[in-house]
Amino acid sequence: MTTAHRTALTLACLTALTGTSMAHAADTTALTLYRSDSAALYASTVDGSVDDGYAVVREQRMLTLAAGTHDVVIGDLPNALDAEALALGFPDGRAKVISQRLLLAQGANAALTGLVGRSVDVLGSNGESLASGTLLRASDGLLIHGVTGTTLVRNYSAVRSSEGDFPLGSSLSLRVDAARAGSTRAVLSYPASGLGWRAAYVATLQPGAGCRMQFESRASIANRSGRDWHDAQVTLIAGEPNMAKASAPRPMMTMARGYSAKADAMPQQDSIGDYRSYALPGTVELPDGSVSQVPLYAGRTMDCTRTALYENGGSYLPPQPILNRDFNQGGGSAIVSTLKLKAFDSLPAGYLRVLTADRNGTPQFIGEGRIDDTPKGSDATITLGTAFDLRAERERTAFSVDKAGRTMDEAFRISLSNAGDSVRTVTVREHPGRWRQWTLASSSSKPSRQTPDTLEFRVDVPANGKAVLDYAVRYSWTADEQPQ
């Protein structure tokens, strides 16, 4: 399209706006929110809207239409939405949309975008009225259509909404052909960014020798869309749908108003395609710039497993046997504390905070970790942190290669120390990674678990004492696998 054609189209649209009717919001808004781990969505230090997260919005609007072809402006839209996926329809068939244009709330006049199509008063520095009428455009000055014609105002001090409110966000300008004049209901749907959710879990460990915990499941819903959402019906989607377009939206802690943790107030869970959906049982207030929390599952007491873990190596398998003596030297001293639980239901991805009571009974934070999407009955494990009283030392005690016999022997000693006042059990997890074919030749303790790439031992370390684990493995290979 040429510049002249664009200018002519713009002028035609502005002229048509002289007969603009304003769209007023109806009561029902449905939000389908997709999971997002964007730090900006949940940060308390971020000001303004955020172009992360993904939600599908379905709004019902009451439009006051004139008979025939004319323009209507729908305001109070989010700052960032997918214009190509935006659609408006009239269920009663009384009107049809001929064309639509999205007016983005950007730049110095972003706050005025929501007033396009509304009646306004433009005031000067002394409070005098400079122009009154319908706001047609807010860019390099304000274009106002009033009873005496259209006026461009460049120097002004304030803009007052004649209708009492001041909607924010983007606006949608529609060319509509209506069969007759009057109020009619329209359904507007679009994907938007600045909205997202993720799971937030809290586990409070109970006293005693075993591992039991009180487990709370919530959904954190972030709104950085540039507008408020009132009495919204919300559905949360767990899973990772593919977002093909790079330009499309990407997917203060208070409990959302009107919610409790009672079992009968829990979201209704269902399957939707390859994903999970959670329909919240009531409407939710989502003010702009907020993070609200709603219960995801009723709280429960459940079993868990605490582990003090010392691990070396990984699941890497080389293309041929590694004969270099210094491979996988290891030797770090840190022993990490982990917590494992079995999912009592589908657990959407999120973060688990773990608390335990001190000697005064006050819950204290002892670690946080991420839980990935976990199907019912599967295990989820997080790392809480480094154990203060436990240390380890790993040294290679033997290494030899017999190329003619196509074997290789390697031995390690793991020395564990415990500065605490009680016996601690340390899980030593080793990954023999020089070659895929190996056998355990000897060990000072019987393995608690053995797989094709893992050796695991459970070693009791006495209070204020030490313990030692020795083990040796033998690797073997065929003539075809002989290293060069």
pLDDT given at position 208: 86
Rounded alpha-carbon distances, angstroms, from residue 441 to 179, 240, 312, 325: 88, 45, 19, 18
Residue pair 310/335 in contact (Cβ under 8 Å)? The answer is yes
Average pLDDT on 76-97 reads 85
Residue pair 346/375 in contact (Cβ under 8 Å)? The answer is yes
pTM for the whole thing? 0.74
Average pLDDT on 144-169 reads 81
Q: 366-370 contacts: CB < 8 A, separation 24 or more?
A: 366/205, 366/337, 367/337, 367/339, 369/339
Q: How many angstroms separate the CA atoms of 452 and 112, rounded?
A: 65
Q: What's the pLDDT tens digit per position in 108-156?
A: 566 676 677 778 899 998 889 889 998 887 777 888 888 888 989 988 9
Average pLDDT on 2-28 reads 40
- pLDDT of 281 higher than 80: yes
Scanning the structure block, which residue is given the tokens 């808004």? 29
- pLDDT of 6 higher than 70: no
Average pLDDT on 157-184 reads 82
Backbone dihedral angles phi then psi of residue 17, each to the nearest 5 degrees: -70, -10
pLDDT given at position 240: 80
**Secondary structure element (H or E) that encloses residue 9, with its range:** helix 3-16
Average pLDDT on 444-456 reads 96
- pLDDT of 65 higher than 70: yes
Per-residue tokens: 454: 């893992």
- pLDDT of 19 higher than 60: no
Per-residue tokens: 310: 């010392």
Q: What's the pLDDT tens digit per position in 226-273?
A: 888 999 999 999 988 776 655 445 443 333 444 444 445 789 988 888
Average pLDDT on 366-376 reads 95
For residue 49, name the pLDDT band (cuts at 50, 70, 90).
confident
Per-residue tokens: 221: 């819903």
- Beta carbons within 10 angstroms of residue 34's beta carbon: 24
For the chain, how big is the Rg over CA atoms in Å? 32
